[in-house]
């Protein structure tokens, strides 16, 4: 079983940056793809970014490509989401999730979820 705890959210002005962290507990963390999701109109949660177990592969939603960077440190069992050039439309609760499916991009593929961290971007 994997437990996930997000941190790093906060209030930032448009154009600013934040780094989110997702700390995991449980064995074999490096065998899990970890992703970030956020709520979106018409969807329960939309995909933001994912990173494979060893960190060699990543994927991003078009809306964040070029602005967000996902990374992981398996020695610390932590995944990071560096968010730059933030926009008001990035305001959301950000959830991290873990899956054994390689680089999955749909929330149904993720069994383990954190409780989320709030990101608010003011204009």
E strand map for the chain: 3-7, 10-13, 18-25, 33-40, 43-51, 58-60, 68-73, 78-83, 92-99, 112-113, 117-122
Please state whether beta strands 58-60 and 78-83 pair in parallel, antiparallel, or not at all (unpaired): unpaired
Tell me what pLDDT residue 19 has.
98
**Residues 39-95 pLDDT 10s:** 987 878 999 999 999 999 999 999 999 999 999 999 999 999 999 999 999 999 999
> Cβ–Cβ contacts within 10 Å for residue 106, how many?
12
């Amino acid at each position: 079983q994997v437990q996930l705890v997000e941190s790093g959210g906060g209030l930032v002005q448009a154009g600013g940056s934040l780094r989110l962290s997702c700390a995991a507990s449980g064995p074999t963390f490096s065998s899990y793809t970890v992703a970030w999701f956020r709520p979106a109109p018409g969807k329960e949660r939309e995909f933001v970014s994912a990173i494979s177990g060893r960190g060699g592969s990543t994927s991003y939603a078009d809306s964040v490509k070029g602005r967000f960077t996902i990374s992981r440190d398996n020695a610390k069992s932590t995944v990071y989401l560096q968010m730059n050039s933030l926009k008001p439309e990035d305001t959301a609760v950000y959830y991290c999730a873990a899956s054994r499916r390689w680089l999955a991009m749909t929330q149904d593929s993720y069994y383990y979820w954190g409780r989320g961290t709030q990101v608010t971007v003011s204009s």
